[in-house]
Amino acid sequence: MFKFLLLVTSLTAYTEVTAQRQPGARVVLSQAGLDFAARMAVDVLDRDIRGRTVPDQSGTSRVDVGNVRWSITNGRVLDFTKPTPSVEVNPTQLVTWSMSNAGIKLSGNWRYEYRLWRLKMSDSGSFSLTLTGASASVSVSMTRGPDGRPALSVSQCSCTITGVSVEFRGGQSWLYNLFSGFVERPIRSELERLVCETATQAINVNGNAELRTVDVDVLLRHGPLTVDCRLMDNPRMANGYIESSHIGEARAPGNTSPIPFTAMPLPSTISQRMATIYMSEHIANTIGHVLYQRGNLTEVVTTIRIPDQTQPEFLSLSCLPDEICFGSTFPTAAQLYPLSTVELRLQATERPTLSITPTAATGRFTGDVDAIVRFPNGTITVVLSLGVTASLAVSAEIQGDTIVARVLNFAPSVVVKSSSLGGEHTGAELNSFLHFAANYYIIPQLNEIGLEGFRVPNMEGVQLVAPTLNMVEGALVLSTDVQYSP
């Protein structure tokens, strides 16, 4: 988490930039999701209010026998009947959390004393108090916190308890009815305050603590990059849902350079599922941009193994005529460099891109593929240099809480940039070479990265339930229900 002073000095300028940009991701919580959150909050309230103590009460009241001094001590909540919760979203940046028909059972000790003529009379005992028909309304604001996460704050709370029943134990029964009014009024008021205090703590303390576990810098499993998922602005409230916009751009350690292109507008539809997450193709494109700028899209390949165990290593220069290797694909290389080895240098010359439509996800890679001969003395020479533009058909699916991808097809177009292998290279030669390089190295490597996947930002204790993943214009859409295990 960023330190507060750093955020204070940097977020103002940062927000001025991001406010003009389209989000790379959007999250929509439907009414079903908000109702689920309300039930979770009731569970927290139920857990926190049980066992709470009620401050001691005392006073003096005049009854038929004279002035009675009374006290109520050791009040403690024994039981809590969960209320029925509901949530209403107001466009004024407030969420109203309402609860009805709660019940509270409380125990404690009572004591009174009075003077009857010159005699001092006193009595004491214990009591059980049951309150029913409790209702509460809590108004909550949701804003962008200083660390880019959502932040909750209770702005108003009211609680009303309608039914009270007191059972006294010990003492003289003739004063119970007189004394019950002394007990009921202060405890009713105190418990109304206690309900609001506990509800406020459940939101301001517990709720914000849970939100602080939300991933806003999602570390990619392959490489040193993170995806910045901080909020761009305060969440937007609307009738029946809350919508939040997130930056959704890749960042490298120590690199503060802005991404030089922006996302396209994301669609916004209301699903019946609890949560819907829109992830723009912009996220993948910024990952490609940052990797390209860092020079991470260069690789030297020294071996390519064909699964068929009867075949030699593909980059070998020596193989039989009916076997498949670099030497049989380019016989001139085998003749000119019989005692040498071959390496491939793959290097992007443009940032790779991803385009998503409702029917397909297509990646595009432009780069050079150089075949390098390494001589026994360690010197090297480039014997074949190809300019390759490849289109990759990609599928995506959700596995648990991770979006995984797989390359389905690799369709390259090739230009010979230079060659020292003599003669014109036929299309069959080049296609055979790229076919084996793609199928037995490039695609497996990409699929290994794709299967590591992109973990959906989440908070501790929350699991996705029956998630589905679909493609729309320019984005992936994850729709899901959730369950919570604290």
Judgement on whether residues 207 and 239 belong to the same structural domain of the protein: no
Which residues, 6 or more positions from 179, have their beta carbon under 8 angstroms from its beta carbon? 68, 70, 110, 112, 168
DSSP annotation of 296: -
- Domain assignment of residue 25, yes or no: no
Residue 330 confidence (pLDDT) above 70:
yes
Whether 269 and 180 map to the same domain: the answer is no
The residue with greater pLDDT, 256 or 47, is 47
For position 112, what pLDDT does the model report?
Answer: 82
How confident is the model at residue 12, as a pLDDT? 27
Least confident of 116-130, 305-319, 440-454, 470-484: 305-319
Tokens of 173: 């029964």
Task: Please give the pLDDT value at position 465.
Answer: 92
pLDDT at 176: 62
In the prediction, which pLDDT does 309 show? Answer: 61
The predicted model gives 443-472 an average pLDDT of 86
User: What is the domain count for the chain?
Assistant: 2
Domain of 149: which CATH number? 3.15.10.10
Predicted confidence band of residue 353 (pLDDT cuts 50, 70, 90): very high
Domain boundaries, position 298: 217-479
Mean pLDDT of 465-482: 94
Concatenating the DSSP letter of every residue in 207-266 gives IHHHHTTS-SEEE-SSSS-EEE--BSSSPEEETTEEEEEE--EEE-TT--PPPSS-PPPP
Last residue of a domain, one of 186, 211, 236: 211
Q: What per-residue confidence (pLDDT) applies to 246?
A: 94
Region for residue 137 given its phi and psi (left: phi exceeds 0; alpha: psi -120 to 50; beta: otherwise): beta
For 318, the token pair is 């020596």
Are 302 and 199 contained in the same domain? Answer: no
Q: Is residue 11 part of a domain?
A: no
β partners of residue 160? 135
Average confidence score pLDDT of the chain = 84
Task: Please report the pLDDT score of residue 177 as a whole number.
Answer: 62
Percent of the chain with pLDDT over 90: 41
In a domain, 17, yes or no: no
DSSP H or E stretch at residue 450: helix 443-452
pLDDT in tens, 162-208: 888 888 887 665 556 666 766 677 878 888 998 899 889 888 998 89
The single-letter DSSP state of residue 197 is H
Q: Does the residue 2 lie in any domain?
A: no
**Does some domain include residue 337?**
yes
Eight-state DSSP code of residue 202: I
**279 plus 141 within the same structural domain:** no
CB 287 within 8 A of CB 220: yes
Q: Are residues 114 and 253 in the same domain?
A: no
Q: How far apart are CA 121 and CA 119, in angstroms?
A: 6
- Averaged pLDDT for residues 289-317: 82
* Residue 399 identity: Q
On the 0-12 / 13-18 / 19+ scale of CB atoms within 10 A, 356 is: buried
Domain-ending residue, one of 147, 181, 211: 211
197 inside domain: yes
Backbone angles phi, psi at 248, to 5 degrees: 65, 50
pLDDT of 432 > 90? The answer is no
Q: Name the residue with tokens 């071996």.
A: 303
Domain co-membership, 287 together with 185: no
CB 42 within 8 A of CB 202: no
Q: Is residue 486 part of a domain?
A: no
- The pTM score is 0.81
Q: Are 176 and 261 part of one and the same domain?
A: no
Final residue of a structural domain among 172, 189, 211: 211
CA geometry: angle 94, 100, 101, nearest 5 deg: 165
Read off the pLDDT band of 67 (50, 70, 90): confident
Which CATH number do you get for residue 227? Answer: 3.15.20.10
Is residue 447 within 8 Å of 239, Cβ to Cβ? no
Closest by Cα among 287, 275, 198, 291 to 243: 275
Q: What is the average pLDDT across 49-65? A: 80
336 and 415 part of one domain: yes
pLDDT in tens, 73-93: 998 999 999 999 999 998 877
Angle at 445 between CA 442 and CA 451, to 5 degrees: 135
Q: What number is the average pLDDT over the span 403-414?
A: 91
185 versus 348: the higher-pLDDT residue is: 348
Mean pLDDT of 295-313: 78
> Which tokens go with 217?
């810098």
Q: Which residue has the higher pLDDT, 457 or 297?
A: 297
Q: How confident is the model at residue 222 (pLDDT cuts 50, 70, 90)?
A: low
| CA nearest to 304, candidates 342, 332, 347 | 342
d(CA 69, CA 85): 40
Provide the percentage of residues in the chain whose pLDDT is more than 70.
Answer: 90
User: Could you tell me the pLDDT band of residue 66, with boundaries at 50, 70 and 90?
Assistant: low
DSSP codes of every residue in 429-449: HHHHHHHHHIIIIIHHHHHHH
| 3-state DSSP assignment of residue 50 | coil
Q: Residue 390: pLDDT above 90? A: yes
Question: Does residue 235 have a pLDDT over 60?
Answer: yes
Q: Could you tell me the pLDDT band of residue 279, with boundaries at 50, 70 and 90?
A: very high
Closest CA to 272 of 296, 237, 240, 313: 240
pLDDT value for 423: 67
pLDDT higher for 421 or 250?
Answer: 250
pLDDT confidence of 233, banded at 50, 70, 90? very high
pLDDT at 16: 35
Are 225 and 112 within one domain?
A: no
Centre a 10 Å sphere on the Cβ of residue 26 and count the other Cβ atoms it contains.
24
Residue 33's nearest CA partner among 277, 229, 280, 398 is 277
Q: Is residue 155 scored above 90 in pLDDT? A: yes
Can you tell me the mean pLDDT for 367-376? Answer: 92
47 in a structural domain? yes
